[in-house]
Chains A and B, each alone.
Chain A
């Protein structure tokens, strides 16, 4: 049973590192996490051009093990998790029975009968409880390991070079040889640890899962390894603009219990061909009501950004949608937003207006993502 009693604000195992680096903090899902160290724009640009380091220790790691762990996850999640290879990672959705989204997760297969489900900090308890309940009929055990695991992400074009320099790791596969969305389980300074070639920035990079007691040492070693490679610590403000440019949804903004995967453009994540039932299947097959809004990208001119909850209007001024995330894109230099709009307003090229606190800003529907890194 997970303890859900109200707790004081939680601090990352790296909190002292952030204090030492002069971070400003924000409350995020009950955690005090760095929002920026000096400049969120500089941190954003560093990740696009050199490298940045994120403390993501607030995120949840839920272990699902047992002979039927894959089958349990096939039932619990929208994708066919049992089909991924050992070492592979997969983005998936934890659906509610009525087709809404409880959380979006990344699942790593760490062994024949071992999986790690990484959930959003804000959804740790709903995700862990849903997984445990759904696995109950299977030969599988669900353990919430979030309190034992720290997560550090190194992201950006220099991430490979930084990982090359790190000592203390004993891994079956060198990080530089990992393919995108693959991982390797080994040890760091003698403790079990995992490296995934995953991230939430639209850049190349790695996510490093280590025991909380090893996090501070790893942080220091990463900072030292990246000192001459443009590595900077980066806060959640830059993480948000990076993922927005990359067209990646954020739970609570683009995804929630009232949104079907198809509305969010995530039909590809739902595997209706897989055998057997899974939670939410019938609802997803039936689909959302006719005319339900769909997620689109919006691009505007100038410097003034639409932001979450601002209305989107058609040329006659009628409200046809609502923004879920928006910012002046640091990389592109123009305002971008994600919004849910009526299907009639969702075609790329559609001209719309953002209602920015009463001022109408012309915008047009564009394909997501806004930014895609150049393939090497």
Chain B
């Protein structure tokens, strides 16, 4: 079970698990709930250069399309192939097996704490 208080968050409802110079990125349970059942994810390629705030992928549910924003400047080092094959992992375990990409970065932008994010979504 991922300790959600140890994660950092963005206003776009993504979470980051920072380990050294690598961040694992996913979308929050709140975002997954708002999307509904996720049926397709489109992720960037390993090695892709990403820029903070830019769209790098898509998360589609039966009802709608969500965009995946790069939360940091950096390079994609890994993508979660399991979630490409089984998009429902985004709903069943958004903070764990439903992670999306890993990005190596040199500098972290300002991010939200657990308390700040919780206040943002009003829960």
Contact = CB atoms under 8 A, between A and B. Distances in A.
Interface of A: 24, 35-36, 39-42, 44, 237, 240-241, 303-305, 307, 327-328, 330, 357
B60 A36 contact: no
B63 A304 contact: no
B40 A36 contact: no
A241 B40 contact: no
A303 B62 CA distance: 10
B83 to A, nearest CB: 13
A235 to B, nearest CB: 9
Interface string B54-78: 0000101111010000000000000
Contacts of A328: 39-40, 60, 62
Contacts of B62: 40-41, 44, 237, 241, 327-328, 330
B91 A39 contact: yes
A145 B42 CA distance: 48
B36 interface: yes
A307 B36 CA distance: 16
Nearest to A44: B62
B40 A24 contact: no
Given A328-B62, A330-B62, A36 B36 contact: yes
A220 B42 CA distance: 42
28 contacts: A35-B36, A36-B36, A39-B36, A39-B37, A39-B91, A40-B36, A40-B37, A40-B62, A40-B63, A41-B37, A41-B39, A237-B36, A241-B62, A303-B39, A303-B40, A303-B60, A304-B40, A304-B42, A304-B60, A305-B40, A305-B60, A307-B65, A327-B62, A328-B39, A328-B40, A328-B62, A357-B58, A357-B65
Contacts of A303: 39-40, 60
Contacts of A35: 36, 63
A209 B40 CA distance: 38
A304 B63 CA distance: 12
Contacts of A44: 62
